[in-house]
Chains A and B, each alone.
Chain A
Amino acid sequence: MATATFRIWRGEKGQGKFQDYTSEVSAGMVVLDAVHQIQAEQAGDLAVRWNCKAGKCGSCSAEINRMPKLMCMTRLNTLPLERPVTVEPMKAFPHMRDLVTDVSWNYGLKKRIPKFQPRQPDASDGTWRIAQEDVERVQEFRKCIECFLCQDVCHVLRDHHMHEQFIGPRFLVYAAALEMHPLDVGDRVESLRKDFGIGLCNITKCCTKVCPENITITDNAIVPLKERVVDRFFDPLSNLFRVFSNSKT
């Protein structure tokens, strides 16, 4: 049977080194299969996160040959197996052990984004009427599996470590899903500018490229939110209008 070498990052809290493991390769295998095989046969304590193994839960994010990917959806036949396949943890989050990082920062962020606020129900039975096309626009954002690969690849977080100032593509998509939700009446535009750092995104679209759900993060979520911020805070005409109409800013 064919074999391949997997160069896996081993270590704790940022300290560590690559270690090579040779493993058998069979038809249809994905990187996560190889990691599991190595774990069961050669490295029992190898730390790796995974759940569904079908690209639906977003647990097994890692960098494979330096590309942020889901291990469960990366087939070995898409990689050059004549040289070692490198597998390392995501870089934008604190390292825990081997392939596992501490992604708790992401969970904390969500609490800071003002929650869904529906308008009054449309019908007397407390239900709403929504057109399918209005649902679809937001469904794209709600496909997100929270793998945080977009956060990992975003240079504002990865290279500039601005986790305090910037919520990252995942949570801009989350904010967009709320802002464009057909029932939502909340207003997150001011927070997007002041607290969530939307201005820090300079639209390099790296996030869109790595999204395993193919969400058009930059064009469909971030750019429209930026436009809302610009309309609210930087459009001289509407500013003038607001001064005279005394409406909220």
Chain B
Amino acid sequence: MSEYIAHEHDVLIIGAGGAGLRAAIEVSAAGGKVAVISKSLLGKAHTVMAEGGVAAAMGNVDDRDSWRVHFADTMRGGQYLSNWRMAEVHAKEAPARVRELEAWGALFDRTSDGRILQRNFGGHRYPRLAHVGDRTGLEMIRTLQDHGIHLGLDVFMEHTVVTLLKDGERIAGAFGYDRERGRFHLFRAKAVVLATGGIGRAYKITSNSWEYTGDGHSLAYHAGAALMDMEFVQFHPTGMIWPPSVRGILVTEGVRGEGGVLRNRNGERFMFKDIPPLYANQTADTEEEGWRYTQGDKNAKRPPELLTRDHVARCIRHEVREGRGSPHGGVFLDIAWIKERLPNAAEYIKKKLPSMYHQFKQLADIDITQEPMEVGPTTHYMMGGVKVDADSEMSDVAGLFAAGECAAGLHGANRLGGNSLSDLLVFGKRAGEYATAYAKENSLGAVNTDELESAEKWALQPFERKGSDNPYAVQHALQDVMQERVGIVRQEQEMLQALERIRELKAASDRVSVDGNREYNAGWHTALDLHSLLTVSEIVTRAALERKESRGAHFRDDFPAKDEQYGGCNVVVRKGAGGEMHLTREPIPPMRDDLQQIVQEMK
């Protein structure tokens, strides 16, 4: 008989970043009893790392902006694979979600007439990102956290879910453990919202922390929900690359938004050399025009540094491959040059990009007001995730919802910067709202105690094995293979090798052993996380093999062009009856006429 602590709630939210907290607030405000499970302490989730801002077409800086333009920008950025209904809902509702944050105490930077200031960002036609210097994510998560704690949420800090529980076809709860004591917990709930974020830890070079092991993706998949667009992993073009210990830490796109430029070792602004046709009409013709754009000239077009992330990342990789990279294998990102144009440039940079200034000063001994940074691509964001209904965010499993990074649909083949913070607000709220409605119409599902017992037994196995594989070593080996074989540029042979290696590492993960006891044992937690990491790594690889074309963040060396037979479909992954991965190409439903018209008008 297993031993565990039991909890009962109307709605269980797994994940306490922006999406999870926003969902919890919604449940609580509707009178639902809600629990939030947080893998770390409250307020430490990856949302704090978001720097640039939250995209919402409020039109405070440029009144030509509207939800229509935001919708068209998002669809174009996603290479038309996005769920158009989600893109519509997102563009329409984001402004209200941002204003609501202000009513809860968030303090955004202001325009001269005292409204919320908005800044330029890659792929957004007009200045659209509400921001707080370069620490917008911190402001957002703190606002949600501080607002939420007064609503009576039950927060389970430093708890991790290992499996979802079902009663027949519907969700019944989750089973997990607490880090402090290693005790098991049963969370029964009428509805469950997944808000677990990304999968960055599957890669060696990443801006993601230890938590991002694809738990939500894996939990949903094993519970029978479909995952979609898993081949689309966003590599942010600008991560730190030197010194080695900081490799992967994010350098905000805001640097380029404020006038920062990318150069190769010859001092050339290489981004002008390759401008994709889809963006040719919107990109500056000269360096001068690009500068004017960053300074708010409404008649200027944006510099090519602000093209979409997938494109910029590939251009950087190309420069490095061609031998034109910086000394440590990246390129130069230069904001210091603006001193040629602005009086007090150093002060301006420190004020607009304070945390970037400190990050480089403290970690790399570089003063970004005086010298260029060295940057290169870093694994940043998972566009793919749980396939959900566009309006309710419910997955294929009744009562199981997903929002934020672990859900799919809004971003398609590539996410625009700023659209993730708005994503988690808009769809976090909706997931909370619909999960509450579902919980009101349904009672608690029954829990099968045999399932709990086998989950517990599985989780404790690493303690019983002695002297076999080290969980950290298995994790590092997986990160190496994903980085090298399923990275920015992919090809079939390499990905088949990756699948073989993942199979070996799965076997190794069944042999890992850990020392010590169950109390706050990092080795044990790493061993358990391997299950999710290996599941999502295999899904990413198989989905990437299935899409035999290049589109957005997914680039195939062996199929370097877009192929229209793939352009109209999403790759969907489900767990087959025999436990095998089952992939299908599902056609995207035809776009509503009025939305199609918007896309045409904005071309």
Contacts and interface: CB of A to CB of B under 8 A. Distances in A.
A50 B209 CA distance: 8
B48 A52 contact: yes
B28 to A, nearest CB: 14
A39 B472 contact: yes
B277 interface: no
A131 B110 contact: yes
A32 B522 CA distance: 14
A182 B523 CA distance: 47
Interface string A109-147: 011000110100100001111111001001100110110
A104 B116 CA distance: 34
A201 to B, nearest CB: 22
Interface in B415-437: none
B461 interface: no
Given A28-B244, A115-B150, A127-B102, A47 B522 contact: yes
Given A45-B516, A132-B110, A107 B42 contact: yes
A110 to B, nearest CB: 6
B282 interface: no
A51 B520 contact: no
A58 interface: yes
A29 B245 contact: yes
B208 to A, nearest CB: 9
A53 interface: yes
A146 B142 CA distance: 10
A209 interface: no
B138 A145 contact: yes
Nearest to B212: A51
Interface stretch (A79-87, A92-100, A161-169, A189-197): A92-100
B364 interface: yes
Interface in B182-234: 209-211
A158 interface: no
Interface string B481-514: 0000000000000000000000000000000001
B173 interface: no
A39 B157 CA distance: 23
| Interface range for A | 35 or more
B516 A44 contact: yes
Contacts of A45: 514-517, 521-524
Contacts of A59: 40-41, 44
Contact of A51 (B103, B209, B246, B514): B209
A56 B519 contact: no
Contacts of B138: 56, 142-143, 145
A48 B381 CA distance: 25
A128 B103 CA distance: 9
B519 A97 contact: yes
A98 B107 CA distance: 38
Contacts of A188: none
Contact of A115 (B40, B135, B139, B147): B147
Contacts of A104: 157
A135 B49 contact: no
A67 interface: no
Contacts of A145: 48, 138
A30 B240 CA distance: 15
B371 interface: no
Interface in B334-364: 355, 358-359, 362-364
A72 B249 CA distance: 12
A181 B146 CA distance: 14
Interface string B242-280: 111110011000000000000000000000000000000
A145 B41 CA distance: 12
Contact of A57 (B48, B99, B139, B364): B48
B457 interface: no
A146 B146 contact: no
Contacts of A54: 49, 246, 249-250, 359, 363
Contacts of B362: 55, 73, 75
Given A44-B472, A96-B180, A39 B150 contact: no
B149 interface: yes
A103 B180 CA distance: 12
Contact of A107 (B112, B114, B157): B157
A200 interface: no
A128 B116 CA distance: 9
Given A44-B515, A51-B40, A96-B520, A27 B244 contact: yes
A127 B211 contact: no
A107 B524 CA distance: 26
Nearest to B359: A54
B79 to A, nearest CB: 30
Contacts of A110: 146, 149
A12 B518 CA distance: 12
A47 B133 CA distance: 34
- Counting chain A CB atoms within 10 Å of each CB, which of B109, B113, B519 scores highest? B519
B104 interface: yes
Contacts of A49: 40-41
Given A28-B243, A29-B243, A44-B470, A73 B114 contact: no
16 contacts: A27-B243, A27-B244, A45-B515, A45-B521, A47-B520, A51-B44, A54-B249, A58-B44, A98-B520, A107-B41, A116-B105, A128-B102, A132-B109, A132-B117, A139-B107, A139-B132
Given A44-B471, A132-B110, 13 more contacts: A26-B245, A29-B243, A44-B472, A44-B522, A45-B516, A45-B523, A45-B524, A56-B355, A73-B362, A107-B155, A126-B103, A130-B114, A142-B142
Interface of B: 40-46, 48-49, 99, 102-105, 107-110, 112-117, 132-133, 135, 138-139, 142, 146-147, 149-150, 155, 157, 180, 209-211, 242-246, 249-250, 355, 358-359, 362-364, 470-473, 476, 514-517, 519-524
CB-CB nearest 9 A-B residue pairs: A28-B243, A45-B516, A44-B523, A129-B114, A116-B105, A40-B472, A47-B520, A51-B209, A97-B520
